Amino acid sequence: MLPKLFILLCLLFSAISPALSQGGPLSPRIANYDIQVRLDTAEKKIYGRQVLLWNNPSADTVRELQYHLYLNAFRNTQSTFMQEAGGFGFMIDAMKEGCGWGWVEIESLKDGYGNNLARQMEYIAPDDGNADDRTVLRAPLPRPVLPGGSIEVEMEWVSKVPRAAARTGYNRDYYFMAQWFPKVGVYEPAGVRFSEKGQWNCHQFHAEGEFYSDFGVYNVEVTVPKGFIVGGSGVLREVKEEGEVNTWHFRAEDVIDFTWAASPYFKEVKENYKGIDIRLLAYPYHEHLAERYFRAVCYAIDFCESRFGRYPYPGLTIIDPPFHGMFSSAMEYPTLISTANLCFLPKGVKTSELLLVHEFVHQYFMQMVASNEQEEPWLDEGITNYYEAR
């Protein structure tokens, strides 16, 4: 088993090592986003605009785009996610009472040539044919994308933030936004997963299994009420004060997703280790745990770099959710991880450290490898659990 695993790891990272040594882009940068969003905390809504620059990685002429609309999993009890979510019965009951629904609506969609793509867009259910599921959107293209070509698509959308749903949502004044924006699927060329022709890999949102995305560059501006502190993937470039709101600008390069969290009660603690800017956002009653968190993450950095190669990103953000934000705990996203700390645990129990090590290993397995978490979960959770135990 061990020799086979070692060979697999060598193959997985052989594509990364040359880019690290040459100092150029670390990835093909297929799906690139410029996103501007405004959080309305009174209505629990997000108003967004995004421009996607998508590069065709195949020798095919691509005649449509497919998007994930993950927040529509929380639109009603008939979505595929809700139908499968037996373990989330408490959430379904809360939503039936009308206090927690989430959704996303596309208000406009057009390509760089001015063509209105919204006229022919439609929801599809490629996995189970569920006509009530709206987590995948198909948009035919009047001007197809030629082999090796690119397309720019502008979208405006509005979403309702669900209350404390799986991995995402809000509770009180804490927001954790994961899988929150319309995200293009992965177009796999012929030969990938033994397919005879190129095709979109764009699964519906399921209760089991996670996600799959292409690498890209994200420029994201998040506008929140004044007083909110925001943590996000990538590097915080600037914070612009604009009257009663502040806009937080992040840039993340060569990543497969973008996630952010916000709260007016966050306390920020910073550390720099090996040139990596580590940013911890925690509630005041957990601020004293910063040293423990940093020690665990620095150990994980050393461990991973000694086995897999240098951590190639300039920063890492740690979110320590409040107790009422535990729905977002123990999760991994590109250059952003969340931990958990339960106050009733004895001091000698290192649950938080264990979680931080586990989630940091995910920066290699799934983030840098960009594996398909939906179809091949062993490539991220399996390998990560193995190295967590090491």
Q: Cβ distance 64 to 151 under 8 Å?
A: no
Same domain, 200 and 324: no
Mean pLDDT, residues 286-308 taken together: 96
Give dist(CA 160, CA 293) in Å, integer. 33
* 267 and 351 belong to one structural domain: yes
Asked whether residue 387 carries a pLDDT value surpassing 70, the answer given is yes
Tell whether 158 and 297 lie within a shared domain.
Answer: no
7 or 24: which leads in pLDDT: 24
- Encode the chain in three state secondary structure: CHHHHHHHHHHHHHCCHHHHHHCCCCCCCCEEEEEEEEEECCCCEEEEEEEEEEECCCCCCEEEEEEECHHHHHCCCCCHHHHHCHHHHHHHHHHHCCCCCCEEEEEEEEECCCCEHHHCCEECCCCCCCCCCCCEEEEEEEEEECCCCEEEEEEEEEEECCECCCCCEEECCEEEECCCCCEECEEECCCHHHCCCCEEECCCCCCCCCCCCCCEEEEEEEEEECCCEEEECCEEEEEEEECCEEEEEEEEEEECCCCEEEECCCEEEEEEECCEEEEEEECHHHHHHHHHHHHHHHHHHHHHHHHHCCCCCCEEEEEECCHHHHHHCCCEECCEEECCCCCCCCCCCCHHHHHHHHHHHCHHHHHHCCCCCCCCHHHCHHHHHHHHHC
Q: Let me know whether 162 and 47 are in one domain.
A: yes
Query: With 90 as the cut, is the pLDDT of residue 225 above it?
Result: yes
Among 52-66, 83-97, 236-250, 331-345, the minimum mean pLDDT is found in 83-97
pLDDT at position 348 is 73
What's residue 1's pLDDT? 46
- Residue 92 confidence class, pLDDT cut points 50, 70, 90: low
pLDDT of residue 2: 45
Q: Is residue 237 part of a domain?
A: no
pLDDT of residue 95: 56
> Looking at the structure, do residues 190 and 273 belong to the same domain, yes or no?
no
> Bigger pLDDT: 117 or 195?
117
> Per-residue pLDDT averaged across 188-210, rounded?
93
Instruction: Please tell me whether residues 284 and 363 are part of one structural domain.
Output: yes
Q: What is the CATH number of the domain that holds 390?
A: 1.10.390.10
Given a cut of 60, whether residue 234 has pLDDT beyond it is yes
Give the per-residue pLDDT at 350.
80
Taking 60 as the threshold, does the pLDDT of residue 8 lie above it? no
Q: Give the chain's end-to-end CA distance (angstroms, integer).
A: 15
Q: How many CA atoms lie within 13 A of 373 on its CB side?
A: 23
pLDDT at residue 270, rounded to an integer? 98
Residue 358 lies in a domain: yes
Average pLDDT over residues 61-83: 96
pLDDT greater than 70 at residue 4: no
- Let me know whether 51 and 109 are in one domain: yes
Matching residue, tokens 């916000």: 262
**pLDDT value for 97:** 55
Asked if residue 262 lies in contact with residue 178, where contact means CB atoms within 8 angstroms, the answer is no
Among 107-111, 295-299, 383-387, the minimum mean pLDDT is found in 383-387
CATH of the domain at 73: 2.60.40
pLDDT beyond 70 at 271: yes
Per-residue pLDDT of 300-313, as tens digits, reads 999 999 999 999 99
d(CA 283, CA 279): 13
| Predicted pLDDT of residue 199 | 97
Q: What is the mean pLDDT of residues 213-239?
A: 99
Shared domain for 117 and 189, answered yes or no, is yes
Q: Which domain holds residue 342?
A: 255-390
Tell me whether residue 4 is in a domain: no
Is residue 14 pLDDT above 70, yes or no? no
Q: Are residues 289 and 382 in the same domain?
A: yes
Whether residue 216 is contained in a domain is answered as no
Do 102 and 200 belong together in one domain? yes
- Of the pLDDT bands very low, low, confident and very high (cuts 50, 70, 90), residue 90 is very low
What's the pLDDT score for residue 166? 82
Amino acid in position 247: T
Overall domain count for the chain: 2
- Residue 127 lies inside a defined structural domain of this protein: yes
Report the residue count for the chain. 390
Q: Is residue 220 part of a domain?
A: no
302 domain residue, yes or no: yes
The yes-or-no verdict on residue 44 having pLDDT over 80 is yes
Q: Which residue has the higher pLDDT, 203 or 340?
A: 203
Kindly indicate the confidence band of residue 94, based on its pLDDT and cuts at 50, 70 and 90. low
Q: How far apart are CA 34 and CA 368, in angstroms?
A: 21
pLDDT attached to residue 96: 55
- Considering only 83-87, 150-154, 231-235, 374-378, which range has the smallest mean pLDDT? 83-87
Q: Examine residue 48 and state whether it is found in any structural domain, yes or no.
A: yes
For position 15, what pLDDT does the model report? Answer: 47
Do residue 202 and residue 270 come from a single domain? no
Q: Which residues of 104-117 are buried (b: 16+ CB within 10 A; e: fewer)?
A: bebeebbbeeeeeb
